[in-house]
Structure 1
Amino acid sequence: MPKRKGLFYGWWIVLAGLLLITITVPFTSALVSLYMIPITEEFNIPRSAFTLTTTIIAVCGIILSPIVGKMVQKYNVKMILSIGIIVFSLSYMSYGIAQSIFHLYISAAFLGVSFAFCGNLTTQIIIVNWFKKSRGLAMSIAISGIGLGGFIMSPIIANLITNFGWRQTYFIMGLVILIIGLPIALLIMKKTPEEAGLKPYGADEVEDQSLNTKAETEIDITPAEAKKKPFFYIYMIGIFTLGLITTGSLQQINPYVSDMHGMAYAATIVSIYSLLGIFGKLILGWLSDKLGVIKSGTLGYLAISVAFILLLFGQNKPILIIMAIFFALGNAVASVSIPLYASHIFGTNNAGVMMGITNSAFQVGMALGGVLTGAVYDLMGSYTWAWIGLTVIALLSMACISLSYTISRKKYSSEVKESAKLYTERVN
C-alpha cells in the first residue's frame, strides 16, 4: 500500500475525539454543579436531590458500556455517534423545560443513555484502532478534552446563567453541542484506518518485528476466554479500586481544604490541579509510549499516592500546592491509562468489548468512591483515615493491574514461542 503524504489522518481523528469529549464529558460531570443553586432554589429541593441526576447518568454508563463496546466494534460508528449526539443535545436542552425534579431525572436518563454512545468510550475505542505507535500520546490528547471542556465552558455557562437564566442556558449549550458534534461525527470520524485506505499509525514497524518478538499490540484474548482466567478478575479489582480513589478524592478535596483554609483557597487548589491535569494527561500519555503502559501507570499511581499522603499535612498551605501538582499527574491514570490497560492486556482485536467491560467496573468504583470517603469523614469526624485508606487502595489497584498484565504477558509469550516452534518444524 503506497504511503500518503501529509499529516496522518489518525491525528484528525484525535482532534475530532478531543472536541467530542470537550462537548460531552464535562456536561455530565464537572459543569453540572453550576446549575445546582438556581435549580434547587427554584424547585425548593435539597442539593442531594439534584445531584441524583449525575448518579442516574453513571448508572446508565455502568449498564450500557459493555453493549456500547460491542456495537462500536460491529456497527457503523458514524451512525452510532450521530444518533448519540442528536439525542444527547436534545436531552440536555430538555433540562430547560423541566417543571419538577422528576422531569430532570427523566432527562438525565436520556442523557446518560446517549452519553454512553457518544462520550469518551467510543472515542477511545476508535483511537485504539487507529494507533499502534504513539497510542498513549494520541489517547492523552483526546482525553485532555475533559479538563479543557471544564476550563473553557465553566465561565461561559456561569455568565449565561447570570444573564439569561438556567433554562435558556440549557437550550443554548445543547445547541452548541449539536452544531459542533454532528458534523464531526458525520464528516471526520472513521472507525478504522482501513476505511480511509490506510494502516494504523506505526503498523509497518510492528509488522517488521520477528515472530519471536513479544509485541504487546498483537496479543489476542477473547472476552469469553478472559473470563475463565484469574488474571481477568484481578484486573477488574484493579479497575474498580481505581474508580474508588478517583471520586473518593475528587469529591472530597474541596470540602477538606475549605474546612481548614476557606472556600477561596480550596477553589485555588482545585483550579491548580484541574489546569495542570491537562498537562498531566499529556505527560502520562507520552510516558506510556516511551516507558510502556505499566511503568508509566506505576509512576501515576505513585504520584497520586504521594498526593494522598501530602493531604495528611493539609494544614500547611504550601504543601497543598505541592499536593495539587502530584495529584494532577496521578489522577491522569484514571483517564489516560485505563483504555491503554485494556488494549495491552487483552489485545486490540477485542478492544471495544473489553474497554466497555472495563468502563463498567470503573464507573461502579466511581459511584461508590465519594460516598465511602464521605462516610469515613462522618464516622471519624476527619479525613485522616480517608486519605490513608485511599493511599492503600491506590497501591492495591497498582498491584492488581501490574499482576494481571504480567500473567497476560507470560501466557502470550508461551503461545508465541510455541507457534514459532511449530512453524519452524513445518518449514524444516
Structure 2
Amino acid sequence: LSPIVGNIIATSGWRFAFVVLAVICLVGSLPIAVIFFRSHPSDKGLQPYGAELTEDEIKAIESKGKKKVVQADPEVTVAIGWKVMKKSAAFWLLALGFMLVGAINAMIVVNTISNMTSVVMNGETIVTGGHDIAWASTVLSAELVLVVFCKVALGSMYDRLGLIPSSIIGAFTCFAANFFMIFNTTDWGPILGAVFFAFGTCVCTVGPSVMMTKEFGRLDIGRATSIMVAVQSVGGIMGAIVSGQAFDAALSFTPAWIFGMVISIITGVCMVASVKLARKLVAKQIAAGAPRVDEEGKIVEGSVATA
C-alpha cells in the first residue's frame, strides 16, 4: 500500500489518506477477525504455530524424500507462567532486547526516506542523501517486498538453528542496516541498508511469540507476549524521539545510525543472555516438580514435567 498511500497524500493530502487506511482496516480486517477468530487452534483441527512435530510426523516428512527434519531448541513444555516469569531476569532481559529492537525499527522506518533525500527544517532544505523521491520510494518498496521472504527465513532459522544463533543474526542485520544507512549519499548504502533492515525488522514481528514459547512455554503466553510487544512499542516511541533530536542537533542522521549500531550490539547480548538464563529457569522448574503443559498452554493435570 505504500505507493498507493504516497499517491493519495500527493493528490489529496495526508488527512484523506488516513481516512482511506482507516476504511481499509475496518472493512478488510475487522470482519475477517470476527468471522474466523478462534480461541484455540484445536477448535479448527489445527496445531499452534511452532508446535513440535511428533516422531511419526517427522518420519512421514522424511519418508517423502525431503531433508532430515531438525528442530533446534524444542518448545518448553513445563509450566512456568506469568508469576514465575515476572520475577526472572531472563524475561526482563528479553523485554529489554525487544525494546531496543523496537527503537531501531522506529528510527529506520521513520527516517528512511528523509535519510535518502532531504529534510525541510524551518523553511530551509537540508540535503541528506541527495536522492530524488522516486528513487527512494523504489528502494523502500523493494525492501517491503523483501520483508515477506525474510519473515519466512527468520522463522526457519529459529526452527533449524535455534534461539541463540538466530538472535545473533538478527542483531547483526540490525547493526549492518544502521551501518549502511550512514552512506546515504551513495546508491549502494541505502540499498544494502534496506536489504539488511528487511531481515532485521522481522525480529520485531516474528521474534516475540517464537522466543517466548521456546524460552518460557505457552502457559500465560498471551499476557507475557502482550507485555513484550508493549515494551517494544515503548522502544519505538523512544527511538523516533531520539533520532529526531539527534538530527536537530547535528543536522545529520549519522549520530542516530551510530546509536542504532550500539544498541544493536546490546540487543544481541540481552537476547543471548535471556536464552541462557531461561534454560536454567526451566531446569529449576522441572527439578521443583512443576506440571507439564500441552501445546495450547493448558496444564496437564496430574502430570510432572521432565527434561
Distance 1:295 1:155 in 2: 38
Residue in structure 2 matched with residue 187 of structure 1 by the alignment: 35
Cα 1:394–1:165 shift into 2, 3 Å: closer
Distance 1:214 1:307 in 2: 27
Cα 1:330–1:178 shift into 2, 3 Å: closer
Per the TM alignment, residue 269 of structure 1 is displaced from its structure 2 partner at its CA by: 2.5
Per the TM alignment, residue 369 of structure 1 is displaced from its structure 2 partner at its CA by: 0.4
Per the TM alignment, residue 200 of structure 1 is displaced from its structure 2 partner at its CA by: 4.1
Q: Does 2:272 correspond to 1:402?
A: yes
Q: Please provide the CA RMSD for this pair.
A: 3.3
Q: Does 2:234 correspond to 1:364?
A: yes
Residue in structure 2 matched with residue 205 of structure 1 by the alignment: 54
1:256–1:383 Cα contact (<8 Å) kept: yes
Per mean C-alpha deviation after superposition, the further-off stretch among 364-373 and 406-415 is 406-415
> TM-score, normalising length from structure 2?
0.74
Residue in structure 1 matched with residue 85 of structure 2 by the alignment: 226
Cα 1:371–1:166 shift into 2, 3 Å: closer
5+ long unaligned stretches in structure 2: 58-71, 118-127, 291-307
Distance 2:13 2:254 in 1: 43
- Out of 242, 262, 266, the residue aligned to residue 131 of structure 2 is 262
Q: Percent identity?
A: 24
In structure 2, the residue corresponding to 1:260 is in which secondary structure? coil
2:78–2:286 Cα contact (<8 Å) kept: no
Cα 1:302–1:203 shift into 2, 3 Å: closer
5+ long unaligned stretches in structure 1: 1-149, 421-428
Cα 1:157–1:174 shift into 2, 3 Å: farther
1:238–1:397 Cα contact (<8 Å) kept: yes
Q: Using CA pairs below 8 Å that are at least 6 residues apart, which structure has the higher relative contact order?
A: 2
Aligned residues: 265
Cα 1:303–1:357 shift into 2, 3 Å: same
Whichever structure has more helix as a proportion of its residues is 1
Deviations 1:113-167 (A, max 9, x none): xxxxxxxxxxxxxxxxxxxxxxxxxxxxxxxxxxxxx35xx51784599489965
- Out of 219, 230, 236, the residue aligned to residue 95 of structure 2 is 236
Distance 2:149 2:40 in 1: 28
Residue in structure 2 matched with residue 301 of structure 1 by the alignment: 171
Cα 1:327–1:200 shift into 2, 3 Å: closer
Distance 2:211 2:275 in 1: 8
Per the TM alignment, residue 228 of structure 1 is displaced from its structure 2 partner at its CA by: 1.8
In structure 1, the residue corresponding to 2:266 is in which secondary structure? helix
What is the identity, as a one-letter code, of the residue corresponding to 1:193? P
Deviations 1:248-273 (A, max 9, x none): 12212221211222332332332222
Per the TM alignment, residue 372 of structure 1 is displaced from its structure 2 partner at its CA by: 0.1
Cα 1:387–1:189 shift into 2, 3 Å: same
Distance 2:80 2:191 in 1: 43
Residue in structure 2 matched with residue 144 of structure 1 by the alignment: none
Q: Does 2:176 correspond to 1:317?
A: no
> TM-score, normalising length from structure 1?
0.55
